[in-house]
Structure 1
């Protein structure tokens, strides 16, 4: 298996408190990998370490064989790793189109330097419209992102994460707060935008996890206690005791 992401002895401490305790994990190229675990297990911290938001206390993070430990997030982004956040992270007063275009500008090194006269950048604008069509927001492209429904805002954020052509996409709680029908739509969207890409996600909804993931890793108190196929994770007594409980039995 060719690794898209490889973690070796990864550690993170905040003062005397160790949150991530020597995590070793390999996520293959093209794999859909879910990271699950109880509240406080360190899932978001692990995401922040991989994407560069937090500095690493020990160990390494590699992307396609290159050590990216402690690189700033924008450099990691340009190397092909993009992520969403648990709390929706968009520009509410800008249109849907402008939000997507801003994501594309960072990848193409425009950085929000509007002297590039982005309205004249035909290729950039055409790609932004392609992304908006992919996420099903064509009819909403000119309205402020802040007036979208919650599910539409999450779809927009997922679209922005995928807009730049990153081959590794990380989604943090992509269906949190959604209804059943909204969750079903989100699952189909995630499937569509991650075709041929590597997906890493943190998700509490076990239905989403077992529906989407090729492999699942279980993080408990900062340590990976299991990493296997959905079927084996579902049947693991250690995982049931640590996290899934009655949900696994169902």
Structure 2
């Protein structure tokens, strides 16, 4: 298995408090991988270490074999890794179309060319239209993003996440706070837009996790206590005791 992302001996401390405690994990190219665990397990901290928002205390993060130590988030993004956040992160006063078009600028070569009129770029505008079609928001293209429903805003954020052409996509609780119908919509969208890409997600909905992902890692108090295919993780006694049993009971 060719690794898209590798974590080796990864640790993170805030002062004397160690949050991530020696995580080792290899995620294959094209794999859909979930990281689950109880609140306070360190899942968001782990995401922030991988994407360069926090520097690691020790250990390594490698993207396609390249060590990410010292890289800023924007540099990691340009190396092919993109992420969403727990809290929806869009430009609410800009239109849906403008949100997507902005996310395409760097990858399509605009960079710091302030004199270019993006509205006249056929390639850029067609690229934005293609993303809107992928995320089923073409009919909402001219609305301010802030008036979209919650599920539609999450879909827009996923569109922004994939727009730069990253081949490793990280989604932080993409279905949090959604109804069953909204969850089904977002899961279908994730399946479609991450086809052929590597997906890493933090998710509390076990139905989503077991239905969507190829492998699952369980993080408890900053340590990976199990990694494997969904059924193996479900049957793991240590996982049930630490987290999974309580999480499944909470859904019923």
TM-score (normalizing by structure 1): 0.97
CA distance in 2, matches of 1:34, 1:242: 17
1:186-217 deviation line (CA, Å, top 9, x unaligned): 11000000100000000000000001110000
Provide structure 1 residue ranges, at least 5 long, that are not aligned to the other structure: none
Name the structure 1 match of 2:169.
Answer: 169
CA distance in 2, matches of 1:211, 1:113: 44
Q: Is 1:73–2:82 an aligned residue pair?
A: no
Name the structure 1 match of 2:27.
Answer: 27
Structure 1 residue 168, shift from structure 2 partner: 0.3
TM-score (normalizing by structure 2): 0.96
Name the structure 2 match of 1:51.
Answer: 51
CA distance in 1, matches of 2:247, 2:38: 13
Q: Which segment is superposed worse, 120-129 or 110-119?
A: 110-119
Structure 1 residue 69, shift from structure 2 partner: 2.1
Name the Cα RMSD after superposition. Answer: 1.3
Name the structure 2 match of 1:120.
Answer: 120
Provide structure 2 residue ranges, at least 5 long, that are not aligned to the other structure: none
Does the C-alpha gap of structure 1 residues 48 and 192 become closer, same or farther in structure 2, counting only changes over 3 Å?
Answer: same
CA distance in 1, matches of 2:244, 2:111: 43
1:89-117 deviation line (CA, Å, top 9, x unaligned): 00000000110111111333534754221
CA distance in 2, matches of 1:93, 1:111: 23
Name the structure 1 match of 2:93.
Answer: 93
SS of 1:33's partner is: strand
Count of equivalent residues: 250
Q: Is 1:17–2:17 an aligned residue pair?
A: yes
Q: Is 1:205–2:205 an aligned residue pair?
A: yes
SS of 2:196's partner is: coil
CA distance in 2, matches of 1:57, 1:77: 21
Structure 1 residue 245, shift from structure 2 partner: 1.3
Name the structure 1 match of 2:154.
Answer: 154
Name the structure 2 match of 1:138.
Answer: 138
CA distance in 1, matches of 2:11, 2:39: 18
